[in-house]
Amino acid sequence: MLPWDERYIQTETIAGRPGAFLEENRGPRIETDRIKHTQPPTAAYFDRPSDIVIDPSLSLTNENTLFILDQFNHRLMRLTASCSQACENGGVCVAPETCQCAAGWSGQDCTRPLCDRECPDRSMCVAPNVCACVPGYSNTDGSQIFQENPYESYATANDGADLVSTGVVASTMSDTCMTPLCVQDCINGNCYLPDSCACDAGWFGTNCTVPVCSQTCGNGGNCTNPDTCSCPAEWEGIDCRTPTCTQTCLNGGVCTAPNTCTCPREWSGYDCRYPVCEQGRFLKHGPSALDTDTLDGIGKARGDTYFKGEATEKSWQQYVPCQYDIWCLETNGFDCVQQERETTLLDIANGPSHRSKTGFKDYPGRCFWLELEPGARVPFQRVDQYGGIQPHWRYPPINEYGWDGMNEWSSPNTSLLDRQVVLVELRDIVQGPYVCANGGDCTSPGYCECPKEDWIGKMKRMQLFLLLLLLLLCTLRVFVSSFVNQVFFSFCLFFASFLC
């Protein structure tokens, strides 16, 4: 094939648009195909090339070209060498799939930089004779890019578009790229590996903001600082397992749950202030407690020199054993059989507005768990780590909650026994003192003070009986010797004065 003179290559074009359905620009050349082409010539679809000019002795480069005369499409195309990957950084496609790279670059697509000297540890060549720290590390001066010959530190500027010298020049770069970088701030620690914080003692977490408590925080408490629990208002102590009572527990009473005093059996009341007389009965506060009429034979909480009744009915919310009515039947407690000692079951306050007080974020049900100190002696049923529950006892034995059960509090290793878990409910309990019959006052445990003008109690009757017996014995002293008579008479006078 004779070579064409590029200066004299000519083509002709007509109007038309790509995308039309006609196959030839001038309409069908075959008579039978004319019915298939209904669009006008202005909408003709350009077709295939008709002639190609090739010099078989040449290969395509960026200078040696191939001309294609696309007669049916009415255009002339010129082709050069083709590289499927773009030749980057000033490279040129000089042959099919072959890039000729600019100085300082190499690789199939001219994207691999060349450095005359080896880059230091934790760095890599990122441009001709330019080293940069690998991601996650920087230089000791905070820069991340440095150039060779000599090594001079640079920092990026203008969002990475420019390099600005930091003025640090070193003959050796043994200390380059030694500073790890963390995307997060290590609040209570330091960055010791890329994106990894080494936390100070008492902290952990990705940015060292989560405190660590060596103790567990009970009853809704939270670990807010190292070894520090922030407790709900009704709890205190290092682990929030010591209840708080707004009242003072008197007469040997102990605060065993929030605002709950557990009293010795001889004392009663929300703060253990009222003595218990088992020969008397419970009398609730209110108008009846002030009634001085003793004709009905019922004792009132008023005396000449002693008064404990109050005019207004009062009650107190406190924690009691779960299923309190059944507990009363099974323990046969004296306070449980008092007719006027009424109780009302309550729901424990819970939710976001009450959690800071009670520690409950959700409703726990009628009976719920409280966590107490390991040595606490309380009248509540204990729950063990396996879900076992003690029977109803007035004072059940101590049973610490173990670490080896299958529950959310279990520990994978042997751990200290740091709590008792008890089962309780909340009730509103009517308050009042114990009184004795016929207007007598219960002034101390088991002791009734009777109206002097009308009644004497059993202790007074016993005293009178012993006094009469002593007088009888004293009259018999005439039958003994004078020495014994004198000693016995002195004893009679002393004992009579004691009884009186």
pLDDT band at 353; cut points 50, 70, 90: very high
Least confident of 29-38, 52-61, 362-371, 447-456: 29-38
Least confident of 40-49, 70-79, 102-111: 40-49
Q: How many residues does the chain have?
A: 500
Domain annotation covers residue 195? no
What per-residue confidence (pLDDT) applies to 379? 92
Within 10 Å of residue 349's Cβ, how many Cβ atoms? 15
Within 10 Å of residue 91's Cβ, how many Cβ atoms? 22
427 near 343, Cβ under 8 Å? yes
Is 322 a residue whose pLDDT tops 80? yes
Is 36 a residue whose pLDDT tops 70? no
What per-residue confidence (pLDDT) applies to 33? 47
Residue 394 DSSP symbol: S
Within 10 Å of residue 199's Cβ, how many Cβ atoms? 20
Is 47 a residue whose pLDDT tops 60? no
- Encoding tokens for residue 162? 């420019």
Is 4 a residue whose pLDDT tops 80? no
- Encoding tokens for residue 183? 């995307």
Domain's final residue, options 180, 209, 232: 180
| Over residues 289-303, mean pLDDT | 51
What per-residue confidence (pLDDT) applies to 83? 81
Domain annotation covers residue 326? no
pLDDT band at 296; cut points 50, 70, 90: very low
| Over residues 161-187, mean pLDDT | 76
Pairwise CA distance, residues 484 & 491, whole Å: 10
What per-residue confidence (pLDDT) applies to 167? 67
pLDDT band at 347; cut points 50, 70, 90: very high
- State the residue range of the domain holding 495: 457-500
Pairwise CA distance, residues 15 & 29, whole Å: 18
Pairwise CA distance, residues 178 & 121, whole Å: 9
What per-residue confidence (pLDDT) applies to 95? 81
Domain annotation covers residue 429? no
**DSSP run (H or E) holding 491:** helix 482-499
What per-residue confidence (pLDDT) applies to 72? 57
Axis crossing angle, helix 482-499 with helix 458-475, rounded to the nearest 10 = 160
Least confident of 19-28, 313-322, 329-338: 19-28
What per-residue confidence (pLDDT) applies to 65? 73
Same domain, 61 and 128: no
Domain annotation covers residue 476? yes
| Over residues 41-66, mean pLDDT | 62
Give residue-wise pLDDT tens across range 196-224.
999 999 999 999 999 999 899 999 999 99
Start-to-end CA span in the chain (Å): 155
DSSP 136-200: TEE-TTS--EEETTTEEEEEEETTTTEEEEEEEEES--TTTT-EE--SS--TTEEEEETTEEEEP
What per-residue confidence (pLDDT) applies to 7? 54
Pairwise CA distance, residues 268 & 430, whole Å: 12
What per-residue confidence (pLDDT) applies to 405? 79
Residue 214 burial (C-beta neighbours within 10 Å; 0-12, 13-18, 19+): exposed
Helix, strand, coil shares of the chain, percent, nearest 5, are 15, 25, 60
**Range from 147-161, 253-267, 450-464 that averages highest in pLDDT:** 253-267
What per-residue confidence (pLDDT) applies to 17? 47
Find the Cα–Cα–Cα–Cα dihedral 287, 290, 296, 298, rounded to 10°: 100
**Which residues fall within 8 angstroms of residue 322, CB to CB, at 6 or more apart?**
366, 367, 380, 381, 423, 424, 425
Is 121 a residue whose pLDDT tops 80? yes
Which region holds residue 302: left if phi is over 0, alpha if psi is between -120 and 50, else beta?
beta
Give residue-wise pLDDT tens across range 356-402.
999 999 999 999 999 999 999 999 999 999 989 999 988 899 999 98
Residue pointed to by tokens 């001085």:
292
How many domains does one find in the chain? 3
Q: Which residues of 7-22 are buried (b: 16+ CB within 10 A; e: fewer)?
A: eeeeeeeeebeeebeb
- Encoding tokens for residue 466? 């012993």
What per-residue confidence (pLDDT) applies to 259? 97
What per-residue confidence (pLDDT) applies to 325? 93
pLDDT band at 253; cut points 50, 70, 90: very high
| Over residues 238-252, mean pLDDT | 96
Domain annotation covers residue 145? yes
What per-residue confidence (pLDDT) applies to 477? 53
Domain annotation covers residue 60? yes
What per-residue confidence (pLDDT) applies to 389? 93
Which region holds residue 418: left if phi is over 0, alpha if psi is between -120 and 50, else beta?
alpha
What per-residue confidence (pLDDT) applies to 31? 47
Domain's final residue, options 159, 180, 201: 180
Q: Are strands 242-243 and 315-321 parallel, antiparallel or unpaired?
A: unpaired
What per-residue confidence (pLDDT) applies to 454? 56
- Closest by alpha carbon to 374, among 397, 391, 395, 406? 397
Give residue-wise pLDDT tens across range 218-237.
999 999 999 999 999 999 99
Least confident of 51-60, 269-278, 362-371, 481-490: 481-490
Q: Which amino acid is present at 440?
A: G
Pairwise CA distance, residues 75 & 67, whole Å: 11
383 near 401, Cβ under 8 Å? yes
Residues of the chain with pLDDT > 90, as a percent, come to: 40
What per-residue confidence (pLDDT) applies to 64? 72
Say which residue, 450 or 399, is predicted with more confidence: 399
Say which residue, 392 or 158, is predicted with more confidence: 392
Q: How many CA atoms lie within 13 A of 398 on its CB side?
A: 11
| Over residues 154-175, mean pLDDT | 67
Same domain, 11 and 64: yes
| Over residues 140-159, mean pLDDT | 71
Domain annotation covers residue 221? no
Same domain, 61 and 124: no
Is the peptide bond prior to 40 cis by the omega test (within 30 degrees of 0)? Answer: no
- Closest by alpha carbon to 286, among 313, 306, 309? 313
Domain's final residue, options 158, 180, 202: 180
Domain annotation covers residue 33? yes
What per-residue confidence (pLDDT) applies to 118? 82
Residues of the chain with pLDDT > 70, as a percent, come to: 68
Q: What mean pLDDT is reported for the chain?
A: 78
